Amino acid sequence: MDTKKTMVYRIFGLVVLATLVFTACQPVAGDQGAPAAPTANAYYTLPTAVPTMAAVETAAKVTVTDQSVDGGQLTIAEVDSPGSGWLVIHVQTDGKPGAVLGYAPVKAGVNTNVIVTVDDSEATPVLYAMLHTDAGQVGVYEFPGADAPVQVDGQMISPAFNVTGGSSQSKSTSDDSGGYDDYGKASNSKPTTEVSSTGIEIKVSSKTGLGTFLVDEKGMTLYLYTKDTPGVSNCKDACLTAWPPVLTSGDPRADDGVTASKLGTITRDDGSLQVTYNDLPLYYYISDAAPGDTVGQGVGGVWFVVAP
């Protein structure tokens, strides 16, 4: 092969090679310069951690000061409440909160100089300021009931404080009925425990939602205590302040609707005769102010009206 032909073949080969290289460098159809593989976070930002609100509880606090109870008014310096509630004053019974002396509403947040009206003649030298919720009917104090004490870490908010004036006498007694849980709101109108010259007459009353239940001859509602046993009263000492026994001087008498054979009596430690029904002792409730009241129904889950 002569030199001329050899040169032509070489030039042709270089052209072919150049064409192949040029073609290989062109983008494929539909691939207009695909970007390199994205690095981490190239297309999105990792979400910032957000603290949860689980079990967040507003701190509750009651600040009290020693003071005089004369005049029937107490001033509680500050009440920090997690919601609408009640500031309830309890007397001292056996070194712990006892019967309710008075209460006042509080709003959510900080309340200063909360004034509570109380019966100064019933005050003990040490009182308790307890924070309750307003979980039932708004604006109506319902304890025992829906308006339970506020608790933080399982502890009730109930600081103690000293008072002067009023009776200022110790009323601390043993309470076998379970402490303040068996007490409702205080009442100046206490059920009578007077004993008639003849046996007390037991009658029947009724109310929507409760049906028929036993009352005394004046129409006051009668209750049983589920911690009692047949023929035995386990309500003693301070319990009897809130739940006076139904007493009689003779055999109780049955009105229409009452089964006479179910009526009976037991002799209490002081020698008085307490009326029983189906062998269970009968009681009044201190917060029943008028005939037909049934405030004691369901108190503490252990006090109930008595079906005839």
Residues 74 and 149 placed together within one structural domain of the fold: yes
Burial 117-134 (b: 16+ CB within 10 A, else e): ebbbebbbbbbbbbbbbb
Taking CB atoms within 8 Å and a gap of at least 24, the contacts of 269-272 are 269/236, 272/195, 272/245, 272/247
- Which is nearest to 193 in space by CA: 241, 128, 141? 241
d(CA 127, CA 229): 33
Residue 218's φ and ψ, nearest 5 degrees, are: -100, 0
Q: Which residues pair with 237 in a beta bridge?
A: 175
Residues 156 and 79 placed together within one structural domain of the fold: yes
Residues 288 and 242 placed together within one structural domain of the fold: yes
| 8 A C-beta contact, residue 239 and residue 230 | no
| 8 A C-beta contact, residue 119 and residue 263 | no
Residues 6+ apart with CB under 8 A from 267: 273, 274
Q: Which residues pair with 267 in a beta bridge?
A: 273
Specify the number of domains making up the chain.
2
pLDDT of residue 3: 58
- Each residue's pLDDT expressed in tens, for the chain with a length of 308 residues: 565 556 656 666 666 666 655 555 555 544 444 444 444 433 333 333 333 323 334 578 999 999 999 888 899 999 999 999 999 998 888 777 888 888 999 999 999 999 998 888 888 899 999 999 998 888 888 876 788 888 887 678 989 999 988 754 444 433 434 333 434 444 444 455 555 557 999 999 999 888 999 999 999 999 999 999 999 999 988 788 788 999 999 999 999 999 999 999 999 999 999 999 999 999 998 888 889 899 888 888 889 999 99
Please say which residue of 172, 189, 212 terminates a domain.
172
d(CA 95, CA 13): 112
Q: Which two tokens stand for residue 72?
A: 């029937």
Host H or E run for residue 126: strand 126-133
User: Is the residue at 149 inside a domain?
Assistant: yes
Q: Which residues pair with 231 in a beta bridge?
A: none
pLDDT of residue 25: 56
- Which is nearest to 189 in space by CA: 288, 292, 90? 288
User: Is the residue at 222 inside a domain?
Assistant: yes
User: Is the residue at 280 inside a domain?
Assistant: yes
pLDDT of residue 152: 80
Residue identified by tokens 């009526």 is 263
Please say which residue of 172, 192, 219 terminates a domain.
172
Domain of residue 300, residue span: 201-305
Residues 227 and 155 placed together within one structural domain of the fold: no
| 8 A C-beta contact, residue 145 and residue 136 | yes
pTM equals 0.45
User: Is the residue at 154 inside a domain?
Assistant: yes
User: Is the residue at 294 inside a domain?
Assistant: yes
Count of other CB atoms within 10 angstroms of residue 106:
22
What pLDDT digit, counting tens, does each position of 135-190 carry?
Answer: 888 888 887 678 888 888 767 898 999 998 875 444 443 343 433 343 444 444 44
